[in-house]
Chains A and B, each alone.
Chain A
Amino acid sequence: MPVSQQSLSRSINATLRRVPAWPIYIIGAAWAGWLFYLGLTGGLGPEPINALERRYGEVALQLLVAGLFVTPLRTWTGVNLVKFRRALGLTAFFYVLAHFLVWAVLDLRSLARIGEEIVKRPYITIGFAAFLLLIPLALTSNNISIKRLGAATWRKLHRLTYPAVLLGAIHYIWLVKGYPIEPFIYAAVIVGLLLVRLRWTRLRSATA
């Protein structure tokens, strides 16, 4: 990294140290509430259940992608957003949960139907699998859990993010009619971010 960039990232990091992470939760919750309000009042069009399902799902994917960017950003530019990653991840999980609840509670409204859809429809199966994978991560996204599990185990556990995000990307591609561009962009970015990690792992094991 060139010296000028190093000093730039240092000063950015110094500023970031003064920015707290908690507003991410507040903004995340407020945005979810705002979308729900829009759905209630016609702001999401005449089919608000589908629109809300879609919007929550998209925000969840965006936040998960943002979380995946934290490490490469630090490696490539030196800018350190690690202190925000927990908030990004937990807010993403909150949106996945909201996405799931709109589908289950507002849309299907029957346990039998929910079970049937999860079993019968592959895109729902993998979406649900991604949701399940994220649950232990959400439950252990706190300092006590890190201490209890030990940092190494905790880190290993949280690699579940990778399959979860990948499943989320496939879930999106699989549910649309035709071939609109957005789901493929998400998938490409996610696959790219995962490949970068794969390369790092290879490099590490090669130099070890």
Chain B
Amino acid sequence: AAVTGAMPASRASAQALEPNTLEEISSYNNFYEFGWNKTDPADHAHAMVTSPWSISIDGMVDRPGTYTLEQLLEGLDIEERIYRFRCVEAWSMVVPWNGVELADVLAKAGVQSSARFVAFETTVQPDVMPGVRGRIIPFPYVEGLRLDEAQHPLTMLATGIYGDPMPKQNGAPIRLVVPWKYGFKSIKSIVRITLTDEQPPTTWNRLNAREYGFYSNVNPTVDHPRWSQASERKIGGGLFARRQDTLMFNGYEDQVASLYAGMDLREDY
């Protein structure tokens, strides 16, 4: 089933989403395991081992264990969803992801009622990851969501783009996609998912808590301490493309604003 956009009533859907090309999506990446530069992932990720693949799911679940990729996806429909992708560095793309809802995968492991957060971890393969060898940031890369964010129907585990298997530089074989949050929340090449009752540590927050909050919801009214988040440049427009205004919750306000009712988004950035 193709759920294109998946947000009929949204103000943002008034403007049709123009997906970036696969070439653009797979040649401009942050994947620090492979280096600092946007071209490092495309240059180095080909050596990453992505098959066979399994994810261990542990913590507050009924059926902890190591699940193969096939087991995780079995019985689930791979949907196409065209989402905006907004990097904290103020650039953006539109990506036609293929994948499943994270909630459905979590249900397979059986989330216990005590769980309140979900923690994720990226694979570490030092032999093929120059950034890991250089320890440019602490690895493994870890991320986390509140359980209600993780179970939101927009949150997906993506396994492909444009109907093709996920390019390695984009986080093969399976990665998180949380379209209303800055891109670094959408952790790549996941090997571990932990259900917990405590807010898990997250990589960029650990590196610089003042600049990168746990929530990191896309918010044009709360600037990064060093740069504006009010506008963004969509990748692929060339030298003469104009910036575009950044949308609240990256255009998914109607779907997700209720998750943060009563919260001060300046405080919980």
Contacts and interface: CB of A to CB of B under 8 A. Distances in A.
A47 B91 contact: yes
13 contacts: A40-B238, A45-B27, A45-B38, A47-B28, A47-B38, A48-B238, A50-B233, A52-B239, A107-B243, A109-B242, A109-B243, A123-B226, A175-B226
Interface in B233-249: 233, 235-236, 238-243
A103 to B, nearest CB: 12
Interface in B72-97: 88-89, 91
B269 interface: no
Contact of A122 (B23, B36, B226): B226
Which of B32, B137, B226, B241 is packed against the most chain A CB atoms within 10 Å? B226
Contacts of A175: 226
Interface in B207-248: 207, 223, 226-228, 233, 235-236, 238-243
Interface in A34-62: 36, 39-40, 45-50, 52
B259 interface: no
Interface in A161-202: 174-175, 177-180
Going nearest first, the 10 A-B pairs with the smallest beta carbon separation are: A180-B36, A46-B24, A46-B236, A46-B235, A46-B28, A39-B239, A48-B239, A47-B235, A40-B239, A47-B28
Interface in B175-196: none
A45 B28 contact: yes
Nearest to B230: A113
Contacts of B91: 47, 50
A37 to B, nearest CB: 10
The A interface is mostly helix, strand or loop, or mixed, namely: helix
Contacts of B233: 47, 49-50, 107
B89 A177 contact: yes
Contact of B239 (A106, A117, A123): A106
Contacts of B205: none
Contact of A179 (B136, B241, B243): B136
Interface residues of A, number: 25
B89 to A, nearest CB: 6
Interface in B242-261: 242-243
A74 interface: no
Given A107-B233, A109-B243, 7 more contacts: A39-B239, A45-B39, A46-B28, A47-B28, A120-B223, A120-B228, A123-B226
B228 A117 contact: yes
Contacts of B137: 178-179
A178 B239 contact: no
Interface of A: 36, 39-40, 45-50, 52, 106-109, 117, 120-123, 174-175, 177-180
Contacts of A46: 20, 23-24, 27-28, 235-236
B226 to A, nearest CB: 6
Which of A52, A123, A178 is packed against the most chain B CB atoms within 10 Å? A178
A107 B36 CA distance: 23
A107 B24 CA distance: 19
B196 to A, nearest CB: 26
A123 B225 CA distance: 11
Contacts of B23: 46
Given A46-B27, A47-B91, A178 B36 contact: yes
A183 to B, nearest CB: 11
A36 B240 CA distance: 12
A172 to B, nearest CB: 13
B238 A121 contact: no
A36 to B, nearest CB: 8
Which of A109, A174, A177, A180 is packed against the most chain B CB atoms within 10 Å? A177
A72 B24 CA distance: 45
A48 B233 CA distance: 11
A165 to B, nearest CB: 21
Contacts of A50: 91, 233
